[in-house]
Copies of this chain bind each other. A is one copy, B any other.
Amino acid sequence: MAGIIKERLYTPGPTPLLMEGQARTLTATLHHRTEGFRRLLKETLENLRYYYNTKNDILIFSSSGTGAMEGAVSNLLSPGDRVLIGTAGKFGERWGQLAKAYSIDAVTVEVPYGQTLPIDEMTTKLKSDGPFRAVFIQATESSTGVRHDVEALAAEVKQHPETCLVVDAITGLGTTDLRPDEWGLDVVIGGSQKATMVPPGLAFASVSEKAWKQIAQSNLPRYYFDYAKERKNLAAGESSFTPATTLIVALHATLQYIREVGRENLIANAALLAEAARAAGTALGLKLFAESNPANAVTAIYAPPGMDSGLIVKEIRNRFGAIITNGQGSMKGKIFRLAHLGYYDFLDLVSVVTALEIALTQLGHSVQLGIGVRAAEQVYLHQLG
């Protein structure tokens, strides 16, 4: 070990933890079948509704986000149903894998990694290839750093009373303006290790009245991720199975912090950091991976031509203890990803930009030192007006 090196997370999950949330778990290790825990769980659900910007029911599962994604499939659908899937990256592909696992007939609109979903094409499919019981997309695709136009798609799905819209907003929540009630997002999936500043282990799902009606009629097999059972129990402040109590205690605390910060400010913070990250990458002469609609949660950037992006990830990790991520799937070795969501401030961003400038220099790719940080600072100052 050479000198002091602090470990820092710049990944799209897990994200930096809010210490007040972690500390709370030390003094509130409640048993889950007590009045104290029931009250805490109900308050947590109420604050999740604020975080989600919805009046819909919200469910909490002790699982990673994928568990609630599977639940969306198994609860909304019946054998023989057809669904429409939009995929533009690793997490879009996961919807396809889930449909396949349940032998659901899926029509897929797929675009290459780095592109945003073509809503017009999805609209056409909706009209021509249906009827669909559900449409599945991401709000933001974490593997590519691209945001999809959820609002526009929702406006189209609304025209189809037989079709529910399911949005994986695991990295979208708290980073992007989402309006489940106004737009008509029937199921919205979230996870604890993202903008909620809590460790991994909890999945969330908001469920609309339209979705509940469909769930009542569907009959794919489900047990642990049974949405209706969980809704009924949660109404009484109970979870169906033993919940991850300390994670819920931490979430209770972090959601109070998020209420203090304000949902809109939390989103604006991610938007500012994302803009600064893009400005820094561009100033350093690097190419951004998102061709349009870059996400606020994470910025994907091409390595310089001829350089393996894994080397940049490794150099930053070894030298500064800072964890950024490689590309996923076909983009491994080509891009790297800097996240900037949750408990993450402007000085965190300039830290990772500095680490990037030094890593590139050390790897033999000469950059003008400080120019990425300067671009980030210019974005910061510009938003002050």
Name the contact of A262 in the complex, choosing from B1, B8, B342 (C-beta under 8 A): B1
- Which of A100-108, A291-299, A369-377 lines the interface with chain B? A369-377
A384 within 8 Å of B (CB atoms): yes
- Which of A153-161, A208-216, A244-252, A347-355 lines the interface with chain B? A347-355
Please state the number of chain copies in the assembly.
2
Report B-chain residues with C-beta under 8 Å of the C-beta of A381.
358, 361-362, 369
User: Are A377 and B348 interface neighbours, CB within 8 A?
Assistant: no
- Which of A91-99, A233-241, A266-274 lines the interface with chain B? A266-274
Known: A6-B343, A262-B1, A343-B4. A377 touches B369 (CB 8 A): yes
Known: A2-B265, A26-B26, A361-B381. A322 touches B343 (CB 8 A): no
User: How far is B359's CA from A346's CA once the two chains are assembled, in angstroms?
Assistant: 13
User: How far is B362's CA from A284's CA once the two chains are assembled, in angstroms?
Assistant: 25
A336 within 8 Å of B (CB atoms): no
Instruction: Return A301 CB to nearest CB of chain B, in Å.
Output: 18
A344 within 8 Å of B (CB atoms): yes
The B-contacting residues of A in range 100-140, CB under 8 angstroms, are none
Known: A346-B320, A351-B351, A377-B357. A4 touches B261 (CB 8 A): yes
A380 within 8 Å of B (CB atoms): yes
Report B-chain residues with C-beta under 8 Å of the C-beta of A342.
4
- Interface size bracket, A side: 35 or more
Report B-chain residues with C-beta under 8 Å of the C-beta of A3.
261, 265-266, 268-269, 272, 345
Instruction: Return A385 CB to nearest CB of chain B, in Å.
Output: 11
User: Are B380 and A345 interface neighbours, CB within 8 A?
Assistant: no
Report B-chain residues with C-beta under 8 Å of the C-beta of A355.
347
Instruction: Return A347 CB to nearest CB of chain B, in Å.
Output: 4
Instruction: Return A197 CB to nearest CB of chain B, in Å.
Output: 9
- Please, which residue of chain B has its CB at the minimum distance from the CB of A271? B3
A5 within 8 Å of B (CB atoms): yes
Known: A261-B4, A350-B354. A370 touches B377 (CB 8 A): yes
User: Are A377 and B358 interface neighbours, CB within 8 A?
Assistant: yes
Report B-chain residues with C-beta under 8 Å of the C-beta of A374.
368-371, 373
Instruction: Return A184 CB to nearest CB of chain B, in Å.
Output: 29
- Please, which residue of chain B has its CB at the minimum distance from the CB of A341? B4
Instruction: Return A383 CB to nearest CB of chain B, in Å.
Output: 10
User: Are B8 and A347 interface neighbours, CB within 8 A?
Assistant: yes
A378 within 8 Å of B (CB atoms): yes
Known: A361-B381, A362-B384, A373-B370. A266 touches B347 (CB 8 A): no
Report B-chain residues with C-beta under 8 Å of the C-beta of A347.
6, 8, 320, 322, 351-352, 354-355
User: How far is B280's CA from A354's CA once the two chains are assembled, in angstroms?
Assistant: 14
The B-contacting residues of A in range 308-351, CB under 8 angstroms, are 320-322, 342-348, 350-351
Report B-chain residues with C-beta under 8 Å of the C-beta of A375.
370
The B-contacting residues of A in range 39-60, CB under 8 angstroms, are none
Instruction: Return A22 CB to nearest CB of chain B, in Å.
Output: 10
Report B-chain residues with C-beta under 8 Å of the C-beta of A372.
370
Chain A to chain B contacts (Cβ below 8 Å), 19 pairs: A1-B262, A1-B265, A3-B265, A4-B261, A4-B269, A4-B342, A4-B345, A6-B343, A8-B347, A320-B345, A320-B346, A320-B347, A321-B345, A348-B351, A358-B381, A361-B381, A368-B374, A371-B374, A373-B374
For the complex with contacts A4-B269, A351-B351, 7 further pairs of A-B residues with Cβ separation under 8 Å are A3-B272, A6-B343, A6-B348, A321-B345, A369-B374, A370-B370, A373-B374
